[in-house]
C-alpha cells in the first residue's frame, strides 16, 4: 500500500513539470562528418501560472557522441520568462517549486528551472541551473515576471 502511494505521488510530481518545445537552434561549431555543436532555444508554459511562458537557451554538443546521445553538454543556460496573456492561478503557489527539468547528458545532468515567489514585490522569479550526480553547477541565470493586476496566491 505504501509503495503504491509513493509511486502515485512520484508520478504526479513528474507530470506537473512543463515540457519544452524547440523554438530554434543555431550552429556554433562546424563539424564535417558529424552533427555541429549548437545553441538550442526551447519554450515552455509555466504549469502553475497561465499566461507565463519561459524560454531557455542551452548549448548542445555535436560530434559523434552528441549524435548518439552520449555527449556531456556544457552547464551554461539562460532563461527569460514573459507574460504572454492574462495571468491566472488555478491554485495557490508554493513559495518555491521546480517547473521544468530536462536531461543535459546521457544520465547524470539536468537543466532545471525553479519558480520562486517574491511575495513582498508580487513577482514570479525563475532560476535556471544544472545539477550533476556529485555536485551542482554554479552556472545559473535568473528572470522575473511582475504580477501587476492581482496578488499572487500563496500556499500556507
Asked if the structure places residue 132 within a domain, the reply is yes
**Percent of the chain having pLDDT more than 90?**
46
What grid cell was written down for 62? 555535436
Q: How many domains does the chain have?
A: 1
Q: Is residue 4 part of a domain?
A: no
Per residue in 109-140, pLDDT (tens digit) is: 678 899 999 999 999 999 998 876 556 667 88
pLDDT at 11 over 60: no
- Asked, for residue 8, whether it belongs to a domain, the answer is no
Question: Is residue 40 within 8 Å of 61, Cβ to Cβ?
Answer: no
Flag the least confident range among 46-55, 68-77, 99-108.
68-77
Tens of pLDDT, residues 18-61: 788 999 988 887 777 777 788 889 999 999 999 999 999 988 77
* Residue 100 forms part of a structural domain: yes
- 103 within domain boundaries: yes
Long-range contacts of 96-103 (CB under 8 A, 24+ apart): 97/48, 98/17, 99/17, 99/18, 99/44, 99/46, 99/47, 99/48, 99/54, 99/126, 100/17, 100/18, 100/20, 100/44, 100/54, 100/56, 101/17, 102/20, 102/42
| 11 occurs within a structural domain | no
pLDDT category of residue 69 using cuts at 50, 70 and 90: low
Owning domain of residue 69: 18-146
Residue 97: pLDDT band (50, 70, 90) is very high
Residue 71 lies in a domain: yes
Torsions phi, psi of 135, nearest 5? -150, 160
Question: Taking the model in full, what pTM does it have?
Answer: 0.77
In a domain, 67, yes or no: yes
Amino acid at each position: 500500500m505504501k509503495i503504491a502511494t509513493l509511486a502515485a505521488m512520484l508520478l504526479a510530481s513528474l507530470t506537473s513539470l512543463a515540457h519544452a518545445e524547440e523554438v530554434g537552434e543555431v550552429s556554433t561549431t562546424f563539424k564535417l562528418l558529424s552533427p555541429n555543436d549548437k545553441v538550442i532555444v526551447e519554450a515552455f508554459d509555466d504549469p502553475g501560472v497561465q499566461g507565463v511562458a519561459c524560454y531557455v537557451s542551452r548549448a548542445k554538443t555535436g560530434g559523434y557522441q552528441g549524435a548518439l546521445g552520449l555527449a556531456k553538454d556544457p552547464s551554461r543556460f539562460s532563461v527569460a520568462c514573459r507574460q504572454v496573456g492574462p495571468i491566472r492561478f488555478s491554485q495557490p503557489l508554493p513559495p518555491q517549486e521546480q517547473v521544468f527539468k530536462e536531461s543535459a547528458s546521457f544520465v547524470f545532468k539536468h537543466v532545471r528551472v525553479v519558480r520562486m515567489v517574491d511575495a513582498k514585490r508580487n513577482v514570479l522569479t525563475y532560476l535556471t541551473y544544472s545539477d550533476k550526480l556529485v555536485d551542482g553547477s554554479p552556472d545559473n541565470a535568473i528572470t522575473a515576471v511582475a504580477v501587476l493586476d492581482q496578488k499572487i496566491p500563496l500556499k500556507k
